[in-house]
Structure 1
Amino acid sequence: MRMENGLKSNFGKYAVPKALQVLAEIDQGLKAKGGNLYDGLSFYLVHEESFRYFNTPCDVVVFGNIGADGIHYGLLTDFGTAAALDEAPVVCVSPMSFDRPVHIVAENLEHFLSLNMNDSGLFYNHFRSEEDYARFLGEQDDLPYRPSEEEEERAEHIRQQVRDRLHLPRIDHPYRYVRELQAKRDRDAWIRVRGGLHVLRPPGRHAPFSGERFHVDPEGRFGTEEIFRFLDDAEPPAVMALVRDLQLHALNGMTDLQHRLWHALADIGLHDEAERLRISME
């Protein structure tokens, strides 16, 4: 029952995308032989669980975690506007990176897998330049904990199973690819939000968002009563932006505020997002 509830709350209205179904089938076959998808792709599948942190965006469907520091991957639905999860961008959530815990890392799941085959460190490490990233890659060969030949053969066998089942594109310049994704996100922003996810401009809307916003102090100082008053008349995009802002901060013990945010999302029809937000704050 816990797994069924986790699957339902995680995916909401969305169907499991084909690529994720393939990964789950491969993982099941590997586990039957004592293995795991992690052995080849460096992340565990958790899409059937309620795996969330307080700063996991409420419009992210989580599918994997790397098993360290809470770092996990998910599909960004942009508050339920993505037509299908096959088309949703992939984000990496690093819960311990409090200033900017969420990064867009791939246009879709197949692009993510293609990048991940070569190096997952690009997703959760900070590199100031492409040269910095190249140096990081070059240093990997000298690390004392490199996988053994047997482990590398097993990993490549798993990766080949994924390639045989999915049509993964070739991405020649991973660092530039990820940087351009964020640059495009910035260009498409209707309401810019600290952290870089923003609220995207609806199709056909060209003018800037002109409604009232609630600006959360970067240090996390805010008055709950002020938020309550703002939410009484806030437009839906402003509600989304406020939730994005507040999810950058732990709201432990702020039960009244948590409940008000859940209801604010539900009041604008975002019931799946309200449920995910509830789980992330448990």
Structure 2
Amino acid sequence: MIAMWVLPKYNQRIFDRLAHRYDIRKRCLNVIIKYEMPESLVDIVRIDKELRERHDRTLQDYVGFYICFNNDDDRYYCTPDDAIVFGKTGVDGDHFAFLTFNGSISDLEKAPIIFIQPMASGNQVTLVARNLKDFLAVFINLKEIYVLERFRFYKNKLDFINDYNDNYLKDIRLRENDSNFINDLLRRNVKGIVNIDDVYEYITELKKQIKLEIYDDDF
């Protein structure tokens, strides 16, 4: 008789996920890509430098995150292996990254943007924009990046509108001058930012077009 080791169902699920991530890492290592900072992010770094030198402020003061490009120390257990981190909020390890789909996207200007939240059990990775310029366009419209974490809860556009008006609009109005200032600075210094007038529709369609793999490491 041959003894067989059968994993409990829950442990088997964990094992399968770990095996999946190991396979991704192995395939990524087979083709090593040295990612350069995309031009749009270079422009944002210049804006941050200007804010520091001329206004004694930082990008984080206005936008809500600071730039930290492709540093291993900025990664968390739930950061996808094929993601390139570019910004951190300074809250609970939350960070933004380019998703390269196992290295198949070499130009980060074209890479989708994901929002990674280590403390959001079961919802650590959220798709938020088609590319970096669209991400800036979404911010310009919303004027608050943390609205992005709420889209997974909205069942319809009215949910979004009510949540935005009830929980964000008052604070946004208090910093209207700052919002107008940074939005103008972004548009003048980052070429190609489009207008996204309906963020709810944009993100809804985006999630239909771009499917994330199993990045919900809730174990």
Which TM-score tier does this pair reach, normalised by the shorter chain? Answer: 0.7 to 0.9
Equivalent residue for 1:90?
113
Counterpart in the other structure of 1:71:
94
Indicate the residue corresponding to 1:201 in structure 2. none
Structure 1: 5+ residue stretches without partners: 1-10, 187-196, 199-243, 251-282
The answer to whether the aligner puts 1:248 opposite 2:214 as a matched pair is no
Q: Note if 1:30 corresponds to 2:19.
A: no
**1:152 paired residue number:** 176
1:42 to 2:69 alignment = no
* 2:126 alignment partner, SS class: strand
Determine the structure 2 residue equivalent to 1:51: 74
Shift in CA distance, 142/18, structure 1 to aligned 2, threshold 3 Å: closer
Any conservation in 1 of the 2:33–2:103 contact (CA below 8 Å)? no
Letter in 2 for 1:139: D
Find the counterpart in structure 1 of residue 196 from structure 2: 171
2-structure distance, mates of 1:100, 1:139: 23
Where 1:112 maps in the other structure, the secondary structure is: helix
> Contact (CA 8 Å) 2:60, 2:66: kept in 1 or not?
yes
| Change over 3 Å in CA distance of 1:122–1:146 after alignment to 2 | closer
Distance 1:80 1:36 in 2: 32
Counterpart for residue 20 of structure 1: 41
Deviation at 1:159, TM superposition (A): 2.0
TM-score by length of 1: 0.58
Q: What is the CA deviation profile of residues 87-134 of structure 1, one whole-angstrom value per residue up to 9, with x for unaligned ones?
A: 000011111122121111111000000001122233212322211000
Q: TM-score, normalised by structure 2?
A: 0.74
Structure 1 pair 117–142 and aligned structure 2 pair: CA distance change class (3 A) = closer
Give the counterpart of 2:83 among 60, 71, 89: 60
Query: By how many angstroms is 1:36 displaced?
Result: 0.6
Supply the AA of the counterpart residue of 1:185: I
CA distance in 2, matches of 1:24, 1:183: 32
Q: 1:118 is matched with which residue? A: 141
SS in structure 1 of the partner of residue 147 of structure 2 = helix
Matched residue SS, 1:57: coil
Could you tell me which residue of structure 1 aligns to residue 9 of structure 2? Answer: none
Tell me what 1:139 maps to.
166
Tell me, in whole angstroms, the C-alpha distance in 2 between the residues paired with 1:48 and 1:58: 12
Shift of 1:141: 6.2
* Residues in 1 aligned to 2:218 and 2:167: alpha-carbon distance in whole angstroms: 34
SS across alignment from 1:74: strand
Kept in 1, the 8 Å contact 2:88–2:95? The answer is yes
Tell me the CA shift for residue 146 of structure 1.
5.3
Instruction: State the Cα distance separating 1:185 from its structure 2 match.
Output: 2.4
Aligned amino acid, residue 133 of structure 1: F
* Structure 1 residue 45: Cα displacement: 1.5
Q: Is the 8 A contact 2:39 2:109 kept in 1?
A: yes
The two structures, once aligned, show a CA RMSD in angstroms of: 2.3
Distance 1:13 1:142 in 2: 41
Aligned residues: 181
User: How far 1:64 moved relative to its partner?
Assistant: 1.2
> How far does residue 39 in structure 1 lie from its aligned partner after superposition?
2.3
Identity of aligned residues (%): 28
Distance 1:158 1:68, change over 3 A: same
Offset at 1:249? 4.8
